[in-house]
Structure 1
Amino acid sequence: MIKDLPENIVEDIAIAVALEKESVETKIWYVYLINLKGVPIENVLVTSKGYGEKDGEQVKTSTLRHMFPIVESNSFVLIEPIDEATFGLNNEYWLSYYIGKEIYDKKFIFLPESIVELNFIKLPVVNKPGVMIR
């Protein structure tokens, strides 16, 4: 049962949307998992989906699942490319991972219109401009 699971708190882990390349015609965006911990995380599972309202209609994207055997300490992995057309939706990333025998999980949600230049920072470890949730 869910009440039997330990309340492990996710710290020093981030999901970030980075502006990878920009040209006159297009922008290329990627989503990264950033491990800011001093230890690796293992058996990492990330599910992603978008949902919300667009042009007065309820919209849902496909749910994608990504598995990474290990994400080293102070490093990052590319989760997926993301289309700018989904920035008006809630973009949800649900992360689960292990440290030793302990399981951790957390849901990260980029709210509609939050992936904008006004919110850009220089992403740690990735060293690219983007928006990050910790």
Structure 2
Amino acid sequence: MKKDIDIPKVEGVYIAVVNEYNDIYKTQDWNAYIINDKDVDLEMVLIVTSGYSEDKMTSIFRKKLDLLPKKSYAKIELLQEGLFAINNQFNVTFFEGNKMFDKTYTFRKNTINLKALQAIPLMEAKGILVK
């Protein structure tokens, strides 16, 4: 029965962790974003995030977006720098048309850092991207 379930491959949807200035608190913050680089809108986007290592686990954070328009992005959450020493996982599920898509994005421990910054699609920012 499991072989009969068709879950198509996710393309054009990314997770980025961006280092940006916070005007309110006058600090440099790390924020996670979901990016829709597709030419279609995504509906009912569910994001479940958690962090883990061999001996630590964070609480689970959930976010829902009713709609993520084509060629756009949305902030998921603020990440504290202490989390970068563990793996950070983002499970993303969404509908495109009548099909459900699902993908897990993982930032391995110590991969989120200032030396790894790169240009992020659709955003005028630099950060770390997982495709």
Q: Judge same fold: TM > 0.5, yes or no.
A: yes
- Provide structure 2 residue ranges, at least 5 long, that are not aligned to the other structure: none
Following superposition, the deviation at residue 45 of structure 1 comes to: 0.2
Following superposition, the deviation at residue 119 of structure 1 comes to: 1.6
Aligned pair in 2 of structure 1 residues 115, 62: CA closer, same or farther (>3 Å)?
same
Q: CA RMSD in A?
A: 1.7
Per mean C-alpha deviation after superposition, the further-off stretch among 120-129 and 103-112 is 120-129
- Provide structure 1 residue ranges, at least 5 long, that are not aligned to the other structure: none
What is the number of equivalent residue pairs in this alignment?
129
* Residues 1:16 and 2:16 are matched in the alignment: yes
Q: Which position in structure 2 is the counterpart of 1:110?
A: 107
Aligned pair in 2 of structure 1 residues 59, 99: CA closer, same or farther (>3 Å)?
same
What's the TM-score once normalised by structure 2's chain length? Answer: 0.92
3-state DSSP class of the match of 1:3?
Answer: helix
Identity %: 30
Post-superposition, which runs of at least 4 consecutive aligned residues in structure 1 deviate over 4 A?
none
* Residues 1:32 and 2:29 are matched in the alignment: no
Are the aligned partners of 2:10 and 2:101 in contact in 1 as well (CA < 8 Å)?
yes
Q: How does 1:1-134 map to 2 (within 5 A)?
A: 2-21=2-21, 26-53=27-54, 58-134=55-131
Alpha-carbon distance between aligned partners in 1 of 2:14 and 2:21, rounded to the nearest angstrom: 21
Letter in 2 for 1:83: Q
Following superposition, the deviation at residue 126 of structure 1 comes to: 1.9
What's the TM-score once normalised by structure 1's chain length? Answer: 0.90
